[in-house]
Amino acid sequence: MRFLAGEFDVAVIGAGHAGIEAGLAAARLGCKTGVFTINMDAVGNCPCNPSIGGTAKGHLVREIDALGGEMGKAADECFLQSRMLNRGKGPAVHSLRAQIDRRAYSNRMKHTLELQENLELRQAEIIELEKQEDGLWLMTTRLEAQYRAKAVILATGTYLGGKIYVGDVSYESGPDGMFPSKYLPDSLQKMGMDIRRFKTGTPARVLRSSIDFSDLEEQEGDEHIVPFSYDTVSPGENKVKCYVSWTNERTKKVILDNIDRSPMYSGKIEGIGPRYCPSIEDKIVRFAEKPRHQLFIEPCGMDTEEMYIQGMSSSLPEDVQLSFYHTIKGLEHCTVMRPAYAIEYFCADPIQMNRTLEFRKFPGLYGAGQFNGSSGYEEAAAQGLVAGINAALKIQNKEPMILDRASSYTGTLIDDLVTKGCNDPYRMMTSRSEYRLILRQDNADVRLTPVGRRIGLINDDRWERFCKKQEMIKAEIERAKNTVLSPTEELNQILRDKNTSEVKTGVRLGDLLKRPQISYEDLTPVDKGRTTDDRNILEQVEIEIKYDGYIKRQLIIVEQVRKLESKILPENIDYNSIDGLRLEAREKLSKVRPESIGQASRISGVSPADISVLIIYLATLKNKEK
């Protein structure tokens, strides 16, 4: 018998990385929030790689933290090894990545939810969702309890209609052997939501003692550890090593000899898999000319003997998996504790949403994470934070938070999803942003902490420290521009050692820092007047000075593009009635419903000529209003 069990301002369905950030944000903004999970022990689970961050993903974690989210703090508390990727390249692509203790991370996030004021964590499977006549959403659990909410955020991950594939074997399941969300997809389709099937996968976990590490390449963490969170004062030390190995011709032969047994190639899997994180069988087929593929052997935690085989996800049968793992150096006699598997699941077409992540057809209903067609913990958390913030702001009758492409990777991620859609699981990469030089991970706080403060997620103490840091950066930039170093033998020896020209007269510190060969660290012996020794501040100052001209040029472009973003398109515009628009443009514009001329210009199939027609149309509307 169905019964009313409670009412919330915001209800979040799912407690993975998206659901956690959504729930915490809404509760911290003063909304009574309910977070529902199929299994309480799966809160904050990392069913795939035991790591946070990576190329572009590290940027997202920094942005989440800058806005007042939780992922960065939890990762800092639970990390096992930390590395800054791409140090050999420019600062725009430097990305932090940390191996984490996946169980410690999950427990830490679960406890955070339990302690959060205004938030209730419930174990329940939501099987029905419907909009009532009074505008509230009604959710029904499998145990027939019902909850009402002003806003609902769908953050179902890979649980929604989840189905596991290992060779010829397939069965309904969520990740890690959890129950799937079996009935909710029918309810969403009944509402009229457009959902489709995507697929992802994960590698095997093997027993540490069965690995031969003697001839493997060791991968150690950084000596100087950079934390994800701007709140982390002392991140601690690296606790583990990771290892590198490679596939070989024997690995390739085993896989190709059994490729017909892969559900990916036999046609059993209908869902579309991630383009940029393919399974090992997909790598072997797609990149047939490559003699080998790299893989990483990574610990899953301090209190487990499971090791994760990064880069080796597969849906081949278990016997084939054992055969190809045993061809790899170091894994010749490995014991597989958990076989690799593929998982297929339902997700929504994100084009149905606006940039607040609210469904246009279903006011008060939001999507976040893999439900929106993305892949990755970090992408999910960023969307969850945005959805939670906007759900709370809407309930409180406040202006929404919309992050544009020039403000953040989070804004780029969401704009890509809701404007361009995705035909396969979307993964954030630095190449997706046209503003990489100003969207660095080192300045995420400069870009977004004022936004988090304005919304209400940055407390007084954090704000005071942020403001002090900005004052110190400004002071050090001024000092560097005005400090003149004498042409001493000590300075010239430093310049010679760095293969850059000597100086014969006094030279400004800022001019020396503009040289690509020279860093703050190099000039330490001759630069005695620094206002701070804080590495983070000096790094930001050096980047601002070194790339000053490039940054200014990019900011000019940003302002030009933002003029197009300011040209707002009416919500009820009938694109079929606008003369001059091509047929394809009318169809795409009617489907996406862009909020501005700027967003319209990024829709595939909308040409510059179509944009000109829209600008003229807007001008005509304004003249009529006069």
DSSP string, 76-128: HHHEEEEEEETTTS-GGG-EEEEEE-HHHHHHHHHHHHHH-TTEEEEE--EEE
Residue 574, both tokens? 């009938």
| Residue range 232-238: mean pLDDT, rounded | 91
Range of 120-124, 268-272, 484-488 with top mean pLDDT: 120-124
For residue 393, what pLDDT is reported? 98
Among residues of the chain, what percentage have pLDDT more than 70? 99
For residue 597, what pLDDT is reported? 92
For residue 531, what pLDDT is reported? 85
Helix axes 17-28, 377-395, angle to 10 degrees: 30
State how far the Cα of 35 lies from the Cα of 579, in Å rounded to an integer.
48
For residue 561, what pLDDT is reported? 86
For residue 622, what pLDDT is reported? 80
| Residue range 573-597: mean pLDDT, rounded | 91
CA torsion angle 175 181 186 187 (round to 10): -130
| Residue range 330-356: mean pLDDT, rounded | 97
Q: Per residue in 212-222, is it b (16+ CB within 10 Å) or e — as a string?
A: eeeebeeeebe
pLDDT band at 355 (very low <50, low <70, confident <90, very high): very high
How many residues are given for the chain? 626
Angle at 616 between CA 611 and CA 621, to 5 degrees: 125
**pLDDT tens for each residue of 586-613:** 999 999 999 999 999 999 889 989 999 9
Contacts of 220 (CB under 8 A, 6+ apart): 81, 238, 241
Compare 272 and 327 and report the one with higher pLDDT.
327
For residue 294, what pLDDT is reported? 96
For residue 442, what pLDDT is reported? 93
H-helix segments, 333-430: 377-395, 409-415
pLDDT band at 2 (very low <50, low <70, confident <90, very high): very high
Strand, helix or coil for residue 473:
helix
For residue 267, what pLDDT is reported? 73
For residue 318, what pLDDT is reported? 97
> Which domains are seen in the chain, by residue range?
3-198+345-455 (3.50.50.60), 205-344 (2.40.30.260), 471-551 (1.10.10.1800), 566-625 (1.10.150.570)
- Using the predicted structure, report yes or no on whether residue 273 has a pLDDT greater than 80: no
Task: Report the mean per-residue pLDDT for the chain.
Answer: 94
For residue 504, what pLDDT is reported? 93
For residue 109, what pLDDT is reported? 98
Phi-psi group of 611: left, alpha or beta (phi > 0 → left; psi -120 to 50 → alpha; rest → beta): alpha
pTM of the predicted protein model: 0.95
State how far the Cα of 179 lies from the Cα of 161, in Å rounded to an integer.
10
Cβ atoms within 10 Å, residue 272: 17
| Alpha-carbon dihedral sign for residues 189, 193, 198, 204 | negative
**pLDDT tens for each residue of 13-27:** 999 999 999 999 999
Among residues of the chain, what percentage have pLDDT more than 90? 86
Strand, helix or coil for residue 366:
strand
pLDDT band at 278 (very low <50, low <70, confident <90, very high): confident
> Beta partners for 106?
none
Is 253 exposed, middle or buried (CB count within 10 Å of its CB: 0-12, 13-18, 19+)?
A: middle
Pairing of strands 33-37, 3-13: parallel
Contact 409, 444 (CB under 8 A): no
| Residue range 80-97: mean pLDDT, rounded | 93
Helix axes 57-67, 377-395, angle to 10 degrees: 30
Residue 33, both tokens? 């929030």
Q: SS in 3 state form for 12-66? A: EECCCHHHHHHHHHHHHCCCCEEEEECCHHHCCCCCCCCEEECCCHHHHHHHHHH
> Beta partners for 13?
36, 154
| Residue range 513-519: mean pLDDT, rounded | 93
Compare 18 and 626 and report the one with higher pLDDT.
18
For residue 265, what pLDDT is reported? 76
Q: How many CA atoms lie within 13 A of 416 on its CB side?
A: 23
For residue 234, what pLDDT is reported? 87
Range of 259-273, 389-403, 607-621 with top mean pLDDT: 389-403
H-helix segments, 419-534: 444-455, 460-482, 489-497, 509-513
For residue 626, what pLDDT is reported? 63
- Using the predicted structure, report yes or no on whether residue 270 has a pLDDT greater than 80: no
Phi-psi group of 258: left, alpha or beta (phi > 0 → left; psi -120 to 50 → alpha; rest → beta): alpha
